[in-house]
Amino acid sequence: MRDARERLHDMVDAIDRVEQYAARGHASFVADELIQVWIVHHLQILGEAASQLGRDFHSEHPVVPWPQIVAMRNILVHDYFGIDLDEVWNVVAHELPDLKAALVAMLASLGPD
């Protein structure tokens, strides 16, 4: 079973992978289905890792919007044909940088690996 540190690393890794293709910009995201699938897939991983941390961990670290992350994962997984790509891009462009910073800080606060 993966511990909290591993799951936080999974989340940061997923964000890193999203950033690889998000760096190409919104126009590339809109035009390229492979980039869309790549980003959605890694957002699903991010949300799954967040959900597996559990409510107690979430309560101990309220700076992260855990319910919204898990809810987005559920939409991406269970309502695939209802995905709003504009909303996905908004999250990628405006929410992930702050989330990544919070996760990195959280990992640092947990001490060395």
Confidence of residue 82 (pLDDT cuts 50, 70, 90): confident
For the entire predicted model, the pTM comes to 0.94
**Known catalytic membership, residue 61:** no
Q: What is the C-alpha end-to-end distance of the chain, expressed in Å?
A: 17
Instruction: Choose, from 5, 24, 61, 78, the residue flagged as catalytic.
Output: 78
**Known catalytic membership, residue 94:** no
Instruction: Choose, from 5, 9, 24, 73, the residue flagged as catalytic.
Output: 73
Q: What is the pLDDT averaged over residues 50-64?
A: 96
pLDDT of residue 46 exceeding 90: yes
What span, in angstroms and rounded, lies between the C-alpha atoms of 16 and 38?
A: 12
